[in-house]
Structure 1
Amino acid sequence: MGRHYKLVIMVAALSVLLVAVCSSALAIKNAPGIANGVHSEKIDLSGLDQQTAQKLIADNFAQELADGVVVLAYNGTEKTIKANDIDLSCNSEKTAQAAAAIGASGNFFKDTFDKIICSYQGKNVPLEITYDKDKLNNILKTLAASVHAEPVNAYAYTADGSTVKIVKEKTGRSIDTEQLAGLIADKIETENYPQTVTVPINTVEPDITADKLSQINTILAVYKTNFNASAANRSANIALASKNLSGVLVPTGTTFSFNKTVGPRLAADGYKEAPVIIDGKVVPGVGGGVCQVSSTLYDAILLAGLTPVERSAHYIPAEYVPRAFDATVADGFIDFRFRNDLQDSVYIYSKVSAGTLTVFIMGSSADKAKIGTVTLKNAYNKDGSVSAYRLFNQNGTVIKKEFLHTDE
């Protein structure tokens, strides 16, 4: 009798519990509006009809954007990107539809289960956010241009013609706009505005630092040539080529190329039309006068004890250097090259002033002591050709006479 009574009690209790659960499930299933627990980020959409939910989402999104979308922080300043700047918007209608669809598939058991889970665990329906990536990229490009700074090489110069001075380098700055666009995209997806993005500014190191010039402490050689400053175009070409040449560091064991260093002689690069020698004739051509720079450099490197590798004579002897001591160049097919066989790097410093082109070869005092004093000499041969020689002197005595070449 006792056992039977306990069983009846248990069955009755389970029946009551089942009825309660079913009633609760039916209550959750049949609750009007969007399922309980459904939200879009911090917006609770529980019980709302779709139209009301859509308006609430849109209004909240507009309010979130009032102070901007993203704040870019850089160099102690801030720039705010507004929604209108990038056409940022959200599809509140689609979000409301997705929220209303939860537990409304028409399958009783599935819908009941989904709503029960939603009620206890919650369900986030993310916003569908769109923006104009091209407009964002244009903003970032403008920002990058304002921040950008080219690195400045350390450089050597001489003010008095005998003392070398070194000016320290300056690092540059740049922004990787693709990386920054990715950071901003991540912030936009948070749906919480405004978000602050610290702009990653990259440091750009210069090619030549003061450390690389630490051994450049003396002038190994200097050579000067004169030109007619009143010939405006030719003078401009000499000045431009001299500027492009100056500031070049030639490490030991490397070969210098005039054409690669100075670059193409094109009108687009600032070169002007001036007389040039082509096939033995003086004709107008862009870049006329540049050969005076290569010839002046040639004589300077000879005096500095450097090794000529490639050198060609003019068809007609140049007037600005002695016979057999010129070095003609032409884009694409005639170059002037030399190799640095000294112990340390050498540095080229070139300048133009009042009709005079001066090329300095700077280097280490150790190399200067080994080189000694160098002089150049030409000799006219019986056949009319001219031979060029380089003489190395130590303490006033010629210790080596080097034959360089013979020009017809």
Structure 2
Amino acid sequence: MKENGKESKNKSKMKITIISVSVAVILFIAALVSYRIYVKNKVAEWDNLIYPQVIVESTNIGGMTKEEAKKELEEKYGKAILEKKLEVKANDKTYVLDYSKLNARYNIEDTVNKAFELHRDKSLMDAYKFIKNGSGETIKLDLTTDNEYVKEFIKTIADENNKEAKNATISINGGKISVADSTTGNKVDEEDLENKILEKINGELGESISLEAKIDVVEPSIKGESLKRINGKMSTYSTNFASSASGRASNVELSTKAINGTVVMPGETFSYNEVVGERTRARGYQDAGVIVGNKVENGLGGGICQTSSTLYQAIIRSGLKSVERYNHSLVVGYLPKGFDATVSWGGPDYKFKNTYDFPIYIEGYISNRNLIFNVYGDTVSNNKTYDFTSEVYETLTPTTQTIQDPNLPEGQTITEKSPTTGYRVKTYLHTYENGTLVKTEQISNDTYQKVDGVVKVGTKKVQAPPEQPETPPADNGNTGE
């Protein structure tokens, strides 16, 4: 009996325990559900609000709707940015970049959208923690600007402060050499200034921005001390064009003027085509005879090869050799064989390099239809003189082809192409020191084409005119009925 009572008592205790545990579990679950509902409701209250403690620049927009946040930021930053100034100092001048002209604007709408989306991808409980404790996020506004205005602003600064370097110049009057000294120039480093402005343009609203433009010193390419080494005439050469038509003579004068006054510094290469430029009607060039292949025909700029050839002779006699030089395909009449230098725009050029350690000055002018080039340099340190000769070592004799032409009357001849003799020529440069020949070297080996002649001979028989019948003598008697 006692055991049964004990057993009954234990069962009763167990039932109470089970009920207690069950009630506790139910209450815990109920509390969890209730808390979750509470949390869900709390989070839901922020469905249209930016989570707490979201800072844009220095402004807390937590708890605001998107529209409220936009309005707040626009009032505080959108208008204020237009009143901001950025100063650039260049030399003694100050330039102010106007943000209103810069079309400066903050990305307020994008920033508010970004702020609103913060932590909304988190779990419900994580979102509640951010709402309860605050986000603590800080977002910077990005500034968009019209960079074309920045470039215009920089260009204004550059235009007002850039100064071209001025090369030293030389003039020769009556054999007297005068040198005007060079001056340095200034150049605003536009790329550096643009980088500085774009880096600083998005600074704090209250920040005073002042930049210094980097201005580089531009050295002249030709300095006075260099030109002062030119102390005398090194060489001269002239050719005559008295028989030239007016168009050809005009072309010679134009090309000579283009070269006159040219200074070639040590190590520089002179290009005839670059210095003279393209021969166009707009620049005054006219039609005249030019050698094309193995014949002479009318072409724009005819005669300029006399200029290049005369210059070649003056330069080679100063001791400077050619980098590029070609002879004509046919012999020219204004120079000995091997002395010429043909040029053509987009084709052959005449070039030479100044291999001296001093500059040379080229003087070119026309006098009584004589073309003269003088080369000036340092004759004190260079005691050498030069001569130039040529040697014909082979004559290319042309043939004449005779063509029977049945369309020409028998015995009649027409010269369709006159024969032209060709030549192979070697040229030599002779170097003298104090009047003594010390060196002879071959400079070129030129070929001038021969041109075979063509003569047409008529073979058409000439028929004798038909005989006319004799006319009977007239009757001078009277006739009548």
Question: What TM-score does the superposition give when structure 1 sets the normalisation length?
Answer: 0.67
* Code of the aligned partner of 2:182: K
* Code of the aligned partner of 2:98: K
Q: What's the counterpart of residue 196 of structure 1?
A: 210
Q: What's the counterpart of residue 133 of structure 2?
A: 116
* Code of the aligned partner of 2:298: V
Per the alignment, in what secondary structure is the counterpart of residue 81 of structure 2? helix
8 Å contact kept, 1:240–1:271? no
CA distance in 1, matches of 2:68, 2:259: 75
8 Å contact kept, 2:88–2:95? yes
Largest Rg, 1 or 2: 2
> Deviation of residue 127 (structure 1)?
1.6
Answering whether residue 72 of structure 2 is matched by residue 59 of structure 1, we say no
Q: Structure 1, residues 240-269: CA drift from partner, whole Å, max 9, x if none?
A: 6416x8122243xx8x45346537525499
**Judging changes above 3 Å, is the alpha-carbon distance between structure 1 residues 63 and 367 closer, same or farther for their aligned structure 2 residues?**
same
Q: What's the counterpart of residue 131 of structure 1?
A: 145
More relative contact order, 1 or 2 (CA 8 Å, 6+ apart): 1
What are the equivalent positions in structure 2 for 1:137-152 lying under 5 Å apart? 137-141=151-155, 144=158, 147-152=161-166
CA distance in 2, matches of 1:278, 1:335: 15
What are the equivalent positions in structure 2 for 1:10-159 lying under 5 Å apart? 38-45=54-61, 50-68=66-84, 70-99=86-115, 107-113=124-130, 116=133, 123-141=137-155, 144=158, 147-159=161-173
CA distance in 1, matches of 2:91, 2:298: 54
CA distance in 1, matches of 2:253, 2:56: 68
Per the alignment, in what secondary structure is the counterpart of residue 87 of structure 2? strand
Q: What's the counterpart of residue 368 of structure 1?
A: 382
What are the equivalent positions in structure 2 for 1:8-407 lying under 5 Å apart? 38-45=54-61, 50-68=66-84, 70-99=86-115, 107-113=124-130, 116=133, 123-141=137-155, 144=158, 147-163=161-177, 165=179, 167-168=181-182, 170-171=184-185, 173-177=187-191, 179-192=192-205, 195-210=209-224, 213=227, 215-224=229-238, 231=247, 234=251, 237-239=254-256, 241-242=258-259, 246-251=262-267, 256=269, 258-259=271-272, 261-262=274-275, 265-267=278-280, 270=283, 272-279=285-292, 280-285=295-300, 287-308=301-322, 311-314=325-328, 315-319=330-334, 325-338=339-352, 344-352=357-365, 358-369=372-383, 371-372=384-385, 374=386
**Judging changes above 3 Å, is the alpha-carbon distance between structure 1 residues 55 and 220 closer, same or farther for their aligned structure 2 residues?**
same
8 Å contact kept, 1:274–1:289? no
CA RMSD of aligned residues (A): 4.7
> Deviation of residue 56 (structure 1)?
2.7
Q: Structure 1, residues 207-255: CA drift from partner, whole Å, max 9, x if none?
A: 4445655644443224455668975852564156416x8122243xx8x
Q: Structure 1, residues 90-142: CA drift from partner, whole Å, max 9, x if none?
A: 23233344445557767344453476365xxx543222332333454455456
Task: Give the paired residue count.
Answer: 369
> Deviation of residue 55 (structure 1)?
1.9
* Code of the aligned partner of 1:277: V
CA distance in 2, matches of 1:388, 1:341: 21
Per the alignment, in what secondary structure is the counterpart of residue 255 of structure 2? helix
Per the alignment, in what secondary structure is the counterpart of residue 163 of structure 1? strand
Per the alignment, in what secondary structure is the counterpart of residue 54 of structure 1? helix
CA distance in 2, matches of 1:394, 1:362: 18
8 Å contact kept, 1:103–1:112? no
**Judging changes above 3 Å, is the alpha-carbon distance between structure 1 residues 157 and 71 closer, same or farther for their aligned structure 2 residues?**
same
8 Å contact kept, 2:181–2:223? no
Per the alignment, in what secondary structure is the counterpart of residue 141 of structure 2? coil
**Judging changes above 3 Å, is the alpha-carbon distance between structure 1 residues 102 and 235 closer, same or farther for their aligned structure 2 residues?**
same
CA distance in 2, matches of 1:341, 1:50: 76
8 Å contact kept, 2:230–2:358? yes
Q: Structure 1, residues 351-376: CA drift from partner, whole Å, max 9, x if none?
A: 4477775544333345432x04x456
**Judging changes above 3 Å, is the alpha-carbon distance between structure 1 residues 227 and 40 closer, same or farther for their aligned structure 2 residues?**
farther
Mark the runs of 5 or more structure 2 residues left unpaired by the alignment: 1-38, 396-420, 449-481
Percent identity, please: 23
CA distance in 2, matches of 1:131, 1:298: 59
CA distance in 2, matches of 1:197, 1:268: 51
8 Å contact kept, 2:165–2:185? yes
Mark the runs of 5 or more structure 1 residues left unpaired by the alignment: 1-25
**Judging changes above 3 Å, is the alpha-carbon distance between structure 1 residues 131 and 278 closer, same or farther for their aligned structure 2 residues?**
same
Compare the two structures and name the one with the higher helix fraction. Answer: 1
Per the alignment, in what secondary structure is the counterpart of residue 94 of structure 1? helix
Per the alignment, in what secondary structure is the counterpart of residue 53 of structure 1? helix
Q: Structure 1, residues 34-62: CA drift from partner, whole Å, max 9, x if none?
A: 66654332445466554343223212334
8 Å contact kept, 1:86–1:132? yes
> Deviation of residue 87 (structure 1)?
2.8
Per the alignment, in what secondary structure is the counterpart of residue 300 of structure 1? helix
CA distance in 2, matches of 1:62, 1:205: 46
